[in-house]
Chains A and B, each alone.
Chain A
Amino acid sequence: MQALRENLGLTGTHVGCDTSSCGACTVLLDGVSVKSCTMFAVQAAGSAVTTIEGIGTQAELHPMQEAFWTQHGLQCGFCTPGMIMAAIDLIARNPDPSEDEIRLGIEGNICRCTGYENIVKAVTVAAAAVRGA
């Protein structure tokens, strides 16, 4: 996490609890969600790391980003990058998740603002978009 933010200047990945609980630091390691606060940068040698900066583009948002926007899945936005990265892995493993499965699937990410309602809606909408529904 420190390497991403301070050495690479990729500050989209946030420092939340720094103790493996809140998920604000979530990135993808070889496509799989991990908490970057609980990995040494050297452990990633030879692997691909994807941060929120690597998702979508200015011109075309990733469906998960689009859904968080249209479904108002954020307020302060602090949990959002980690939430989006975790949700991307969630729908990659489970392309048509139920509400319960989404709530369990984001258990590693804490949001203090939204009460999760619109986050769950956003993930549902994104999953449908990715399925092409």
Chain B
Amino acid sequence: MIPAAFNYIRARDVADAIRLLEKHGDDAKLLAGGHSLIPMMKLRLAAPSTIIDIGAIPNLAGIQHANGRFTLGALTRHAALAASDELRAFAPILAQSANELGDPQVRNRGTVGGSCAHGDPSADYPAVMLALDATFVLTNGKGTREVGADDFFVGMLETALDPLDVLTAVGFADAPHSAYTKFHHPASGYAVVGAAVNLMLSGDRITAARVALAGTGDFAFRSLAVEHALAGIAVDDAAALDAACAGAAAGIDARSDTFASAEYRTALADVYVRRAVAKALQPR
């Protein structure tokens, strides 16, 4: 399959990328790992007239960890996140989701920024970033601003990014009791349903929780009812945890397709949230 013709330009740095976006307007798209955009271009579901390749910009990838906080460069590849001992120790949800995304070849190219910016309903990271209460750093010609995950994912393939924005980094606090698990679509590996859970513990009790679902609705969302229900439960009270995780997708129009009906996704949501809670509570 062949994309529609396009102009290709490599941006030297973020300022150059911004300048190129301003110059080429609405019909330009940034290219990072390309594993969301290029398949769409090959199917001609997307046909930007100008591609601005930011994949070679130095210093846009990397994992920094200081004072209990991670900062990930937007260009960091999934493979690097999956291989990070630091992430595995202090924010396992992200190492786990990165490791379950796609396959080894896809993980060698795809980037955390690209995946988040694309906002595919079946992607893993949007739910993970909601669970982490992550902050996205956006830059354009007017300056830099931060957008919290709760405000970043707004619709199917729709984020808070303006056409002239460059996503440069995402940051979040340590999340030692966190986990991600998903029902892999057997062909594509995408999340039919994916559960992202981040628990705050005090002693042997859950004090607070952030729970988000991938693949289930038109875009990633938090299960506020489950979050409230989990607060105060003892970590070894299996029956209470079971009850708390019920109705994870209640009130959401779950997606329906040839592989899984809305009813099936709604049922899977409860199962996978419960599994993610168990995984988050496992001693490591």
B105 and A34 contact, CB distance less than 8 A: yes
Q: Which residues of B contact A90 (CB under 8 A)?
A: 104
Task: List A contacts of B51 (CB < 8 A).
Answer: 40
Residues of chain A within 8 A (CB-CB) of B56 are: 46
Chain A's interface size range is 20 to 34
CB closest residue in chain A, given B99: A104
Q: Is the interface of B mostly helix, strand, loop or mixed?
A: mixed
Encode contact with B along A41-59: 1 for CB under 8 Å, 0 otherwise: 0110110000000000000
A107–B186 alpha-carbon span in the complex (Å): 11
Closest Cβ of chain B to A122, distance in Å, is: 17
Q: B109: CB under 8 A from chain A?
A: yes
Partner of A43, one of B53, B106, B108, B189: B53
Q: Specify which chain B residues have a CB less than 8 angstroms from the CB of A37 in the assembled complex.
A: 42
Of all chain B residues, the one with the shortest Cβ separation from A82 is: B105
Interface size on B, residues (CB 8 A): 25
CB of B67 closer than 8 Å to a CB of A: no
Residues of B within 8 A of A13 (CB): none
Q: How far is the CA of A33 from the CA of B102 in the complex (A)?
A: 13
CB proximity to B under 8 Å, residues A5-25:
18-21, 23
Contact call A32/B34, Cβ cutoff below 8 A? no
CB contact between B188 and one of A21, A23, A32, A33 (< 8 Å): that residue: A21
- Whether the Cβ atoms of A40 and B104 lie closer than 8 Å is no
Query: Contact: B103 with A108, CB < 8 Å?
Result: yes
Q: Is B35 an interface residue (CB 8 A)?
A: yes
The listed residue (B8, B39, B53, B102) touching A108 by CB distance below 8 A is: B102
The reply to whether the CB of A125 lies closer than 8 angstroms to some CB of chain B is no
Within the complex, the shortest CB–CB distance from B277 to chain A, in Å, comes to 24
A95 at the binding interface (Cβ < 8 Å): no
Chain A residue nearest in CB terms to B108: A32
- Give 20 pairs: A residue, B residue, CB < 8 Å, sorted on A: A20-B39, A20-B106, A21-B188, A32-B79, A32-B108, A34-B108, A35-B106, A35-B109, A37-B42, A38-B35, A39-B34, A40-B34, A40-B38, A42-B8, A86-B105, A89-B108, A106-B104, A107-B103, A108-B102, A108-B103
- Chain B interface (Cβ within 8 Å of chain A)? 1-2, 8, 10, 31, 34-35, 38-39, 42, 51, 53, 55-56, 79, 102-106, 108-109, 187-189
